[in-house]
Amino acid sequence: MTAWNKLLVATTRLLDLHDSAHEPGSPFVQVSQEQRRGLRDGYWLDLGCLLLDYLLEVDFATNSAFVTQRRCLAHLRGDYPELPADDLSFVINLLATPSEIHYREWQPDAADSGADEGETSPGTRSGRSTKRTALIEKQGQTGQVRLTPSGRQAVTLASQVEDLLYSEYDAAKVIAALSRGDYARVPDITQQILMAIRALTQELRRVRENPTHEGKLAALLDNERHYHNALSTIQSTLLSARSQLSAPTLIGHFEAWAERQEEEWDLRMLSATIGRVLNAIENLSRRLSELLSDIAEGRIQSMGVIDFAGLAHQLLLSPPPERLQDAVVARMMPLGTQVAMPRVETLLPLVETRRAERSGAALVFDEASDRPSADPLLARYLKARGPALRRRLRQSPLSLPDALSEGWHHFETGSDSVHTETLDCLPQLLNTFVDTQLLDDHLSVGIDDTPFAIALPDGRRIEGAVTPSLRLRPAPTKEQEV
């Protein structure tokens, strides 16, 4: 993973927060995966990162002079030999077009501006926005390009997202800050070194817990000597810096500097920050040595993720000793014998999740090519009984018991007497009482507080605490329409 990718990984979710349309105060706090547009192959991102790296290189060599797009194209064709000029122009136009970023800053209240010096104003965090987000500056006439201040800052930030191998230069900054008298910079510099050490420490822990990451394990083995050299250099540099804190000249300069600061500073604060880094270096060096010894002795394989399916299969082939079986049963079986334990096989379909395979068949409903017999039964029922039901409802309302007694849940299919078939459509009849628009938009359902119980000839029994009935809504009068 390159430095640019690490920078994007660290900031992508912040962009999702910036673009979120979530309503403040909404109780719906669940978050779904963001759907991003694009080719999803990293082509345009790679072109942009290569272009920014090249422009920074030229920026140092030419003292921030403009560069022709032809030179940029020639350089990028070293990585993409058949790169079209239009692709480069698209990337340049995109990076040269600013996008607005909205953020908030703390501002003191205007009403409290005349408060006493000893009082502090609460202030508010008001909204701000900026459009200084273009990474490339492009001349309108010639089309030449160079980095903007934001672009230069972006490349610098990306180059600083590195691992411990490059933190030894940060340790030298501690001595430079002490020699210049810039003591406030020491905690920030040591914090950067400490973050790099903790990142590598966590990486070692993940590799020990999951040795299946063979790529990470190989990278640690390849850079093991460089890591030890970097740790030794950082340690010696910081020990030299901590020894300077006891020099009388530096103590006098620090006390004079601390008196001019608004915040309270103590020389022990600088010594404590350096001491935390030294303790982290000792911890990291010990973990790295333990990992290498485990790899050499073959103990790293015992720290991996347990394959429970393979373990269960192995227990079936070779059962454990009886003492182990008794201990497991005593700890895992229910306390009471009346507890029902379900079989695992019946629960597997409920807990097992599988990704459906992608099908190339298009799901198209062609009404012309479908046969009438393939239509849903509800559509066939409404087509056969719908007109007669509408005529019946125009005469009087129809309750559900009356509809069953009159046989509206039956209809016959077939054009001749030989192939005639009587279908039982009781569920379809009930659907017409639930969704009245199936028959007519002007129908409504009335509820009569009268229970009913009907026994059908085939033995089925239908009961209800209330009696629903279908009826036509009366047409609105002219006064109601007005």
Q: For the chain, which residues score pLDDT lower than 50? A: 1, 117-120, 302-304, 352-357, 359-367, 369-375, 480-482
What is the enclosing helix (H) or strand (E) of 219? Answer: helix 214-222
Report the C-alpha dihedral over residues 30, 33, 36, 40, rounded to 10 degrees.
170
User: Cα separation of 49 and 480, whole Å?
Assistant: 69
* pLDDT one-digit tens code per residue, 211-269: 555 556 666 677 777 777 888 888 899 999 889 888 888 999 999 998 888 888 888 88
What is the predicted pLDDT for the residue at 122? 62
Predicted local confidence at residue 78, as pLDDT: 92
Nearest to 263 by CA among 190, 172, 174, 187: 187
Contact 56, 77 (CB under 8 A): no
Query: How much is the pLDDT for 351?
Result: 52
- Cβ atoms of residues 277 and 234 within 8 Å: yes
Sequential DSSP letters for 322-358: HHHHHHHHHHHS-SSTT-----HHHHHHHH---PPPP
Cβ-contact 217, 210 below 8 angstroms: no
Q: Closest Cα to residue 49, out of 180, 175, 161, 184? A: 161
Pick the CATH number of 1-14+39-102+128-161 from 1.10.3720, 2.60.40, 1.10.10, 3.40.630: 1.10.10
Residue 472: strand pairing partners? 443
**Domain map of the chain by residue range?**
1-14+39-102+128-161, 164-301, 374-481
